[in-house]
């Protein structure tokens, strides 16, 4: 299970990072031309891309595939494939330990926020997934004027109405699963910033004449305690206040620009979803198919099996031929020896990697890896003592 899940997680991390880079590249232009609401919604592209990367690969025409992404994904898969079951188990334990540590950090941060809430030191904030509520500090009335209080409450209620608490939970899950990817943590910080900007814009659409008062309320946030990052939405969330105040000076987009923004977001979603499927589908089409001719030392009186094909015909031994796709394992058995092989593309077009696992009496004794040139024989010597034997392989690529 570990050998299957680790490449899956790393592939998802690869596409997550690519999606975050796309959103970060578009963030500033979208904020300027189409407003904070659309810039915030653009972060939906990240889970969309991850979901597309998890779908089974389907055949597609070569022109529909994304060659650049395909090469990056192939490199990632080759780099992340464990060479042994022991290495896969070690990577699995490291990943689980890291995910658990990050999850514990979020739990402790949320508990610390709840302790501050009980003493009246937390807020203004919105909190609670099942029962959302607005949390106010005990000095709320003294710190903010009545007009500022109404604006702050409108901001926190906007978080609840827009479902930002659930979005923060999803972002926290991404940080737990991809804890080893610094780009994910950086992207979540920008995501939380765009979340605040979108809520600011929402409040300003409802109170267009209160921009100055709203900016003054933002400046007063420096006098309050800042909670550690959690799932809740905090008015004093560590955030570039200057960016929020500068964004208040921009004219909100009109009906036409909002419609153009929705169309832009829909096209972006279709584009990245199709590109991800293309990268996955191209793997299914372009996977090379190899024929592996197997031979063994005839001086040894052993019987050779490969893919249920008996390698002895009467008194004459023959070399069985196995046809396998790159990444498709096959096995060879000799008495109490078992060799599992898996071909994959080599560093050059005329080479192929043959990665194997060698078992004796069902115990793993070695993990040979051989770089063979297509059309030329390659040999692996197996065993010591009285029953050594050598296995020869000639790999040819099939149309």
User: Given this model, what pLDDT does residue 296 score?
Assistant: 53
How far apart are alpha carbons 38 and 103 in whole angstroms?
29
Same domain, 89 and 211: yes
pLDDT, residue 106, reads 95
Q: Are residues 12 and 83 in the same domain?
A: yes
State yes or no: pLDDT of 171 exceeds 50: yes
Q: Are residues 257 and 349 located together in one domain of the fold?
A: no
pLDDT at 294 over 50: yes
pLDDT at 399 (0 to 100): 62
Number of folded domains that form the chain: 2
Q: Give the Cα separation of 381 and 368 in Å (integer).
A: 10
Range of lowest pLDDT (189-198, 262-271, 367-376): 367-376
| 3-state secondary structure (DSSP) of residue 244 | helix
Q: What is the pLDDT of residue 212?
A: 93
Mean pLDDT (the chain) is 79
- Asked whether 308 and 82 are in contact (CB, 8 A), the reply is no
With a cut of 90, say whether residue 102 has pLDDT above it: yes
Residue 352, strand partner residues: 345, 372
- Give yes or no: residues 303 and 266 share one domain: no
Last residue of a domain, one of 247, 264, 283: 283
Which range, 105-114, 175-184, 308-317, has the best average confidence (pLDDT)?
175-184
More confident residue, 278 or 374: 374
* Domain final residue pick, 248, 283, 318: 283
Out of 170-179, 214-223, 303-312, the most confident range is: 170-179
Q: Judge whether residue 244 has pLDDT over 90.
A: no
State whether 325 and 188 are in the same domain: no
User: Do 111 and 99 belong to one domain?
Assistant: yes
Domain termination residue (choose one: 258, 283, 308): 283
393 in Cβ contact with 354 (< 8 Å): yes
Distance CA 49, CA 51 (A): 5
Residues 300 and 362 in one domain: yes
Q: With CA atoms as reference, report the closest residue to 125 among 159, 151, 161.
A: 159
pLDDT at 368: 79
Q: Residue 311 corresponds to which tokens in the numbers above?
A: 């390698």
- Are 212 and 298 members of one domain? no
Task: List the domain range (segments joined by +) for residue 135.
Answer: 2-283
Q: How confident is the model at residue 315 (pLDDT cuts 50, 70, 90)?
A: very low
Half-sphere exposure of 10 (CA within 13 A, CB side): 21
Q: Are residues 268 and 183 in the same domain?
A: yes
Same domain, 116 and 75: yes
More confident residue, 71 or 139: 139
Residue 262 pLDDT grade (very low, low, confident, very high; cuts 50, 70, 90)? confident
- Read off the pLDDT band of 395 (50, 70, 90): confident
Looking at residue 163, what is its pLDDT?
A: 95
pLDDT for residue 95: 94
pLDDT top residue among 135 and 315: 135
pLDDT band at residue 304 under the 50/70/90 scheme: very low
pLDDT in tens, 107-138: 999 999 999 989 988 889 999 999 999 999 99
Residue 347 has pLDDT above 70, yes or no: yes
Residues 6+ apart with CB under 8 A from 265: 38, 41, 42, 44
Give the model confidence (pLDDT) of 139-155 as tens digits.
999 999 999 999 999 99
């Amino acid at each position: 299970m570990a050998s299957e899940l680790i490449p899956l997680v790393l592939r998802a991390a690869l596409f997550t990072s690519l999606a975050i880079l796309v959103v970060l590249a578009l963030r500033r232009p979208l904020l300027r031309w189409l407003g904070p609401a659309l810039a915030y919604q653009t972060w939906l592209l990240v889970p969309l891309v991850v979901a597309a990367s998890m779908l089974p690969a389907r055949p597609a025409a070569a022109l529909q595939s994304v060659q650049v992404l395909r090469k990056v994904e192939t490199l990632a898969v080759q780099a992340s494939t464990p060479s042994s079951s022991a290495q896969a188990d070690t990577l699995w334990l490291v990943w689980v330990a890291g995910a658990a540590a990050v999850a514990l950090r979020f739990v402790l941060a949320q508990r610390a926020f709840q302790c501050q809430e009980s003493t009246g030191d937390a807020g203004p904030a919105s909190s609670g997934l099942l029962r959302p509520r607005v949390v106010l500090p005990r000095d709320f009335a003294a710190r903010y004027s009545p007009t500022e209080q109404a604006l702050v409450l409108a901001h926190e209620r906007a978080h609840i109405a827009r479902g930002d608490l659930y979005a923060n939970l999803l972002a926290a899950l991404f940080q737990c699963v991809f804890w080893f990817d610094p780009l994910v943590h950086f992207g979540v910080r920008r995501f939380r910033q765009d979340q605040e900007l979108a809520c600011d814009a929402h409040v300003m659409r409802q109170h267009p004449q209160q921009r100055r008062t709203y900016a003054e309320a933002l400046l007063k946030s420096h006098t309050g305690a800042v909670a550690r990052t959690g799932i809740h939405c905090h008015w004093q969330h560590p955030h570039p206040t200057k960016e929020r105040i500068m964004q208040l000076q921009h004219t909100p987009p009109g009906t036409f620009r909002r419609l153009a923004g929705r169309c832009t977001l829909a096209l972006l979603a279709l584009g990245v979803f199709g590109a991800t499927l293309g990268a996955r589908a191209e793997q299914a089409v372009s996977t090379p198919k190899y024929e592996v001719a197997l031979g063994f030392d005839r001086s040894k009186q052993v019987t050779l099996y490969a893919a249920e094909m008996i390698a002895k015909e009467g008194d004459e031994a023959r070399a069985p031929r196995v046809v396998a796709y790159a990444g498709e394992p096959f096995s060879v058995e000799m008495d109490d020896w078992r060799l599992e092989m898996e071909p994959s593309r080599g560093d050059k077009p005329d080479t192929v990697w043959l990665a194997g696992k060698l078992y004796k009496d069902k115990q793993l004794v070695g993990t040979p890896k051989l770089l063979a040139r297509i059309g030329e024989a390659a040999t692996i010597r197996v065993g010591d003592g009285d029953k050594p034997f050598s296995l020869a392989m000639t790999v040819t690529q099939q149309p």
